[in-house]
Amino acid sequence: MTGISELDENELPVQPSLRRMRQFSVRPKHDLGQNFLIDSNILGVIDRLAELGPDDVVLEIGGGLGVLSEHLAPLCGHLHVIELDRALVPALEDALAQLENTTLHVGDAMVLDLVELSPAPTKVVANLPYGIAATVVLRTVELLPQVTRWVAMMQREVGERLAAVVGDSAYGAPSVIAQLSCEVRVARAVSRNVFHPVPNVDSVLVTLVRTGPPPPDDLRALVRAAFAHRRKALPRSLATAGYGGNEIRDRARSALEAMGLPLDVRAERLSPDQFRELLGELSK
């Protein structure tokens, strides 16, 4: 691996991501969905959306080449950085070397024990690989109840799905599960040109602000079963998904009737609060 001592500093790009790519001979890995931020102007947008303060503990998922990490660290009390790709560790260590309030965790954000992070995160900021964006966000909503705010860069269609409401074609189980405990909105579109390599999809910055505790396991299970066969009426979708036992269709119809909803309503017509009410009716 080429080190800085072997290169003329004048030959290195000024922009941190491009500089570290050259300095540490980094090549983006398509299979990991790596698209590195190369436009430093977007960093200010991210930190303003995150509303960071000196008491905040930030969890950054997807440290990449450290350009966002070194921007966030001076703005918060502590920064946890998670990065899966061990090939990026030298570049990340270079970015974090002078930042004493940071901890680098090398591993998979879908596997690491986030509950054991110390100090405990209060905010999440992430430039997420497109394939896992929604899953990672929902995992942190579930496991980190003390987190109050998220700012996540993700594929536009994934962001729109998380923020979708009843009546939107993108409305589904991720929308409901996220909105059961958070206010979700697409904050702004992001140009493809802020990344290297340039992705083939559009991106957005999504914010989540916690409004309540994480939904319990039984509520998440109900939502997923309800949307498992989204073109079917909700009682039939629950039965087909194997949720709730042999009499679930009749119980679901009774519950919907008690709620004043059509017996053949589809899951896509129920709001997050109505799913919570539905679980209560089914539990009687």
> Could you read off the pLDDT of 76-122 as tens digits, one per residue?
999 999 999 999 999 999 999 999 999 999 999 999 999 999 999 99
CA distance 191 to 89: 27
Mean pLDDT computed over every residue of the chain? 91
Evaluate whether the domain defined by 4-210 bears CATH number 3.40.50.150.
yes
Evaluate if residue 33 carries a pLDDT over 80: no
The DSSP call for residue 151 is: E
Average pLDDT of the residues in 232-246? 95
Name the more confident of 217 and 23.
Answer: 217
Tell me the domain boundaries of the chain: 4-210, 217-282
Task: Note the pLDDT of residue 180.
Answer: 98
Task: Note the pLDDT of residue 1.
Answer: 41
Task: Note the pLDDT of residue 135.
Answer: 94
> What 3-state DSSP class applies to 231?
coil
Give the burial class of 179: count Cβ atoms within 10 A of its Cβ; 0-12 exposed, 13-18 middle, 19 or more buried: buried
Q: What percentage of residues in the chain have a pLDDT greater than 90?
A: 77
Tokens of 54: 């000196």
User: pLDDT tens-digit profile of 150-208?
Assistant: 999 999 999 999 999 999 999 999 999 999 999 999 999 998 988 877 888 899 999 99
User: pLDDT tens-digit profile of 138-157?
Assistant: 999 999 999 999 999 999 99
**b/e string for 22-38 if b means 16 or more Cβ within 10 A?**
ebbebebeeeebbbbbb
Phi, psi of 220 (to 5 degrees): -65, -40
Name the more confident of 30 and 195.
Answer: 195
Given 3.20.20.150, 1.10.8.100, 1.10.10.10, 2.30.110.10, which CATH number is that of 217-282?
1.10.8.100
